[in-house]
Amino acid sequence: MNEFALIARYFDRPCADARLAFGVGDDCAGVTVPAGETLLVTSDALIAGRHFPHDTAPFDIGYKALAVNLSDLAAMGAAPLGVTLALAVPAVDEHWLAECSSGFFTLADQVGVCLIGGDTVHSPVLSLTVTALGSAKPSRVLRRSGAKVGDLIAVTGTVGDAGLGLRAVLNPSSVPPFVDAAAQEFLRERLNRPRPRLHEGQQLAGFAHAAIDISDGVLQDLSHVLTQSGVGAGLNPNALPLSPAAKTWLEAEPTLRGLPWRCGDDYELLFTLSPHDWPSCPVAATVIGVIEAEAGIRWRHADGRVEAVQPEGFDHFAPATQAEGS
Ligand SMILES: [Mg+2]
């Protein structure tokens, strides 16, 4: 099967979105940006063996390649306009392509976004690079730089699930016996099929002062907000919202308790907002700390102790052995 037949069979889908002037089939796609809105563009590559284990199901690979990019739009309060996909495959495996495209379009249909173009190439390493286009009113774009001293720091959903899910995938025998099959399935689902928080991001626009999506770990992603905003943070070490599955695991294995602060891939939103606005916060979220004037991150323990925190999380340029899977 040649490239054109492959694109036609697995990735050329009709799109009813009125904002799409033209799409797959021309040299470029044409998208109309809603009047008065800013175009927001993001691009993320997923590389086999680097960002996901080689034996990840192709459905999940297609789903996640789209999810992580939509999550970046969510973090800025944007609504998606369209996405492109550059797919590099070592071989034309029709079953693999059918599953991958099914995962990709399952999420695309859920959020109502069209694939408007892309490229397919032969490569020794499997990779998927998605570019996502979105838009928002300029005054409602969420940035990393807007955090103010005194703001509360909050996160949506639960964190740590994807990191524990990755442990379960890479080393099934390390899972404590109390973490049953349903809990493990939940954690793997969180790793492989993260739900981009597009709705929450748009609700937070014009309300939160700063936002970021949690891709590389709560501490690391928070540190980007702090650096961009020129502030620091004090965190409650016991405040991180955990799922029942993660709680069960961490109670059985207390040495992993720091992991949910540092592991990535949860794709929840971390944002800051004025404490006066917290009671009317439009999304379900958990407060984990407060923005402070002094640079850096500190644990503020309940007994009054203060302890400096090193914000390392997932490092994209670390040796592949450490990075594999995240
Ligand atoms: Mg991001």
Domain residue spans of the chain: 3-140, 152-313
208 C-alpha to ligand 1 centroid (Å): 16
Which has more confidence, 168 or 311? 168
Percent of the chain with pLDDT over 90: 79
Residue type, 239: A
Q: Are 126 and 264 contacting, i.e. CB atoms less than 8 angstroms apart?
A: no
What pTM did the predictor assign?
0.92
Q: Are 156 and 284 contacting, i.e. CB atoms less than 8 angstroms apart?
A: yes
Which of 115, 56, 121, 55 is CA-nearest to residue 87? 121
Burial 71-97 (b: 16+ CB within 10 A, else e): bbbbbbbbbbbbbbbbbbbeeeeeebb
**Which conformational region is residue 183 in: left (phi greater than 0), alpha (psi within -120 to 50 degrees), or beta?**
alpha
- Helix ranges (H only) for the chain are 3-10, 58-75, 94-111, 161-170, 181-192, 198-204, 218-229, 244-252, 259-262, 320-323
Task: Spell out the residues 6+ positions from residue 176 whose beta carbon is closer than 8 angstroms to its own.
Answer: 248, 249, 252, 253
21 C-alpha to ligand 1 centroid (Å): 28
Give 117-139 pLDDT, tens digit per residue: 888 888 999 999 999 999 999 99
Residue 322 has pLDDT above 50, yes or no: no
38 SS3 class: strand
Give the H/E segment covering residue 26. none
263 C-alpha to ligand 1 centroid (Å): 14
CATH, domain 3-140, list 3.30.1330.60, 3.30.1330.10, 3.40.50.970, 3.40.50.300: 3.30.1330.10
Task: Give 154's strand partners.
Answer: 271, 287
286 SS3 class: strand
The overall average pLDDT reported for the chain is 91
Let me know if the fold of 3-140 is the same as that of 152-313. Answer: no
43 C-alpha to ligand 1 centroid (Å): 10
Give 7-60 pLDDT, tens digit per residue: 778 888 877 776 776 666 778 888 899 999 999 999 999 999 998 889 999 999
Which residues surround the ion ligand 1 when the cut-off is CB under 5 Å? Answer: 72, 213, 215
Query: What's the rounded Cα separation, in Å, for the pair 74 and 27?
Result: 28
68 C-alpha to ligand 1 centroid (Å): 8
Q: How confident is the model at residue 317 (pLDDT cuts 50, 70, 90)?
A: low
Query: What's the rounded Cα separation, in Å, for the pair 107 and 267?
Result: 15
Tokens representing 26? 């021309």
Residue 319 has pLDDT above 70, yes or no: no
Query: What's the rounded Cα separation, in Å, for the pair 78 and 41?
Result: 10
Percent of the chain with pLDDT over 70: 93
Q: Are 88 and 119 contacting, i.e. CB atoms less than 8 angstroms apart?
A: no
Give 63-78 pLDDT, tens digit per residue: 999 999 999 999 999 9
Give 258-300 pLDDT, tens digit per residue: 999 999 899 999 999 999 999 999 999 999 999 999 999 999 9
Give 169-207 pLDDT, tens digit per residue: 999 999 999 999 999 999 999 999 999 999 999 999 989
Residue 160 has pLDDT above 50, yes or no: yes
- Exposed, middle or buried, 209 (CB in 10 Å: 0-12/13-18/19+)? buried
Q: What is the mean pLDDT of residues 132-153?
A: 96
Query: What's the rounded Cα separation, in Å, for the pair 160 and 194?
Result: 12
Residue 2 has pLDDT above 50, yes or no: yes
Give 71-117 pLDDT, tens digit per residue: 999 999 999 999 999 999 998 889 999 999 999 999 999 999 999 98
CB atoms within 10 A of CB 253: 17
CATH 1.10.3720.10 for the 152-313 domain, yes or no: no
74 C-alpha to ligand 1 centroid (Å): 9
